[in-house]
Amino acid sequence: MKLKLTLSLLGVLAACMSFGQGTISGTLFDESNSEPLLFANVVVSGTTDGASTDLEGKYQLELAAGTYTIEASYTGYQTKIVQEVVVQDGQVTYLDIALSEEAELLQEVVVTATVIQRSENALLLLQRNSDKIQDGISSQEMSRYSVGDAAGAMKRVTGATVSGGKYVYIRGLGDRYSISQLNDLIIPSADPYRNSAQLDLIPTNLLDNIITTKTFTPDQPGTFTGGNINIKTKSFPEEFSFTVSLSSTFNSQSNLIDDFLSYEGGNNDYFGFDDGSRERPSLLDEPDVFATLSTRTPLIARLNLDVDGDGKRDGETYARAADRAIRSLSREFTPDSVSTPLGHGISISFGDQYKVLGNSLGVILAASFKEDYQNLPNYARANWILQDIGRGDLFNQGDFSETLSTQSPSLNGLLGLAYRIGNSTTITFNGLYNHSTDKTSRFIFGERPENILNPDFLEGRSLVFTERDLVNAQLGGEHVLANFNNLRIEWKLSQSQSTLYEPMTRFFENQFNIETGDYVIPASNVRRPFYFFRNLEDTQQDAKLDITIPFAGKSGNK
């Protein structure tokens, strides 16, 4: 009841704040090269209402609902007038204006038309005048196609293919040949087997555009051959935005089935976090236990050998140490069949801007959680090797039937802050968090001709739990020195930390006699059961400094 009352009050407050008032927002740019025009003037004809563009050529006017005539001017360019611009209650009207350079006789250009939608035209001009081969998608197109995240938006970009709903291939090349950037700085991957970042964690309603560059230029990183994907987030949202999205997926092979392989695991497996039950036991690090755990331990225990030469038999000591180590580890090796629900997820995003100390503060927030299931039942797997190139004979290493089930929870978060000081300085901060987990169970059954004799078959099982974390923080600033012909200084700092935690991965193989039903583990035919622990950490620091010195004679209005 309290929650409903609170939401109702917030709705009434938002309606009261936006009643009878709307916003005109857009960008002024050079018609010939699509460069943004800094400190240009945008006014409402016949009034004193107006604004000047910021470091990105953007402006914003808050006006009462109605129809207006907008006038845009900039020194050295023809003044342009756009008529019949309609402002509606509580809505944002997007108006991008392209100004052309002045001729010998400066004239006004009057345009009577519907509003030019934001970003799409500017993106096309940017692509046309770029010194490199590139493509992209604007926020307007993302909205029209109703895509929810950056990975979905990339499906609409020419030459891009999305794999697994999150990894992008450019020009048919694998993700190892591409890189992903967030606001011109590289996003490292949390997966050691992949190069590109997971793009499904960034919602599109917080983006300005996504630019894909396919050729090298000096301002691009030199670590890609397929493509460079640069995701631009909004610094100052034009209007208040709060979105809650629920999603669900169904696959007849993976969802609402009863033979999905899984195991008990820990209490937090649903959210993708190990509860500590899989951690490497501290007992294994004790000196006496660690010293006895070697490949010779079974032999010493069985033959009761004198290892250190002190005249005492060490078989019992080694056997006890091995027994303590084994009992400290989980002996769960076999997956069980469980039922699966539909794939499901929830995402929340927020964006707005405020006045703080007389300047604009832009805030964007996003968070999402998703649970996916993938089941590959009884697929055929065969291994062949070429032993003699001259003869061209292939040797069969095994014919197997394999079932692989993976539960994949993921948790993501994004924070963006931007503070504009006057019209010449902007400070930005972006924080990104991604946590993804794969809980995988596998069962394999079949023959290995070289060492499995009829009617003996090989059975194998594996239980894997892999957590990946990525934390990325960016701090940047843009400064324009109007007294030095609008010299622009842009700097950015970034620190990323990615971790991979793979606790207590388990493998178990045995030989099965299909006639007698006997299970054995002959050392000559199969590997002994074993555990695998891995913990990787990678810290990456980046810095970028760009100084742009205009040589043209034009300068902005002061």
Condensed to tens digits (0 to 9), the pLDDT of residues 143-185 reads 777 777 788 888 878 778 887 777 788 877 777 778 888 888 8
The candidate with the shortest Cα–Cα distance to 269, out of 469, 408, 433, 434, is: 408
> β-pairing, 530-548 with 487-513?
antiparallel
Q: Of 51-65, 225-239, 539-553, which has the strongest mean pLDDT?
A: 51-65
pLDDT at 309: 56
The candidate with the shortest Cα–Cα distance to 415, out of 349, 356, 469, is: 349
Ramachandran assignment for 80, one of left (phi > 0), alpha (psi -120 to 50 degrees), beta (any other): beta
Q: Is the pLDDT of residue 280 over 50?
A: yes
Radius of gyration of the chain (CA): 31
Q: What is the mean pLDDT of the chain?
A: 80
Q: How confident is the model at residue 205 (pLDDT cuts 50, 70, 90)?
A: low
Q: How confident is the model at residue 4 (pLDDT cuts 50, 70, 90)?
A: very low
- Who wins on pLDDT, 189 or 284? 284
pTM summary value = 0.71
Q: How confident is the model at residue 27 (pLDDT cuts 50, 70, 90)?
A: confident
AA identity, residue 224? F
Q: Which of 5-9, 297-301, 327-331, 404-408 has the lowest mean pLDDT?
A: 5-9
Q: How confident is the model at residue 376 (pLDDT cuts 50, 70, 90)?
A: very high
Q: Hunting for tokens 């001009």 — which residue is that?
A: 125
| CA angle (122, 124, 130) in 5-degree steps | 95
CA 411 to chain centre: 11
AA identity, residue 502? E
Q: Which of 7-11, 20-24, 327-331, 486-490 has the lowest mean pLDDT?
A: 7-11
pLDDT tens for each residue of 388-443 = 777 777 877 778 899 999 999 988 888 989 999 988 899 999 888 888 899 999 99
pLDDT tens for each residue of 292-324 = 665 555 555 555 555 555 555 556 666 777 777
Mean pLDDT of 12-40: 71
Same fold, 2-118 and 130-233: no
**Beta-ladder partners of 370:** 345, 410
Q: Is 353 helix (H, G, I), strand (E, B) or coil?
A: strand
Q: How confident is the model at residue 12 (pLDDT cuts 50, 70, 90)?
A: very low
Find out whether 228 and 178 touch, Cβ atoms under 8 Å: yes
CATH number of 130-233: 2.170.130.10
Domain boundary assignment for the chain: 2-118, 130-233, 336-548
pLDDT at 339: 96
Q: Is the pLDDT of residue 555 over 60?
A: no
- Who wins on pLDDT, 272 or 470? 272
Q: How confident is the model at residue 7 (pLDDT cuts 50, 70, 90)?
A: very low
Residues 6+ apart with CB under 8 A from 116: 26, 82, 94, 95, 96, 97
Task: Dihedral sign for Cα 167, 170, 176, 181, please.
Answer: negative
First-last CA distance in the chain: 55
Mean pLDDT of 525-547: 86
Between the alpha carbon of residue 343 and those of residues 243, 253, 372, the distances in Å are: 20, 12, 5
Q: How far apart are CA 227 and CA 221, in angstroms?
A: 10
Q: Hunting for tokens 């006890």 — which residue is that?
A: 320
pLDDT at 120: 59
CATH says 2-118 is which class? Answer: mainly beta
pLDDT at 445: 92
pLDDT tens for each residue of 236-274 = 887 788 889 898 999 999 999 999 999 988 899 999 999
pLDDT tens for each residue of 207-247 = 778 888 887 777 777 778 778 888 887 788 877 888 898 98
Q: How far apart are CA 458 and CA 482, in angstroms?
A: 76
pLDDT at 558: 37
Q: Is the pLDDT of residue 90 over 80?
A: no
pLDDT at 441: 96
pLDDT at 336: 94
Q: Is the pLDDT of residue 556 over 50?
A: no
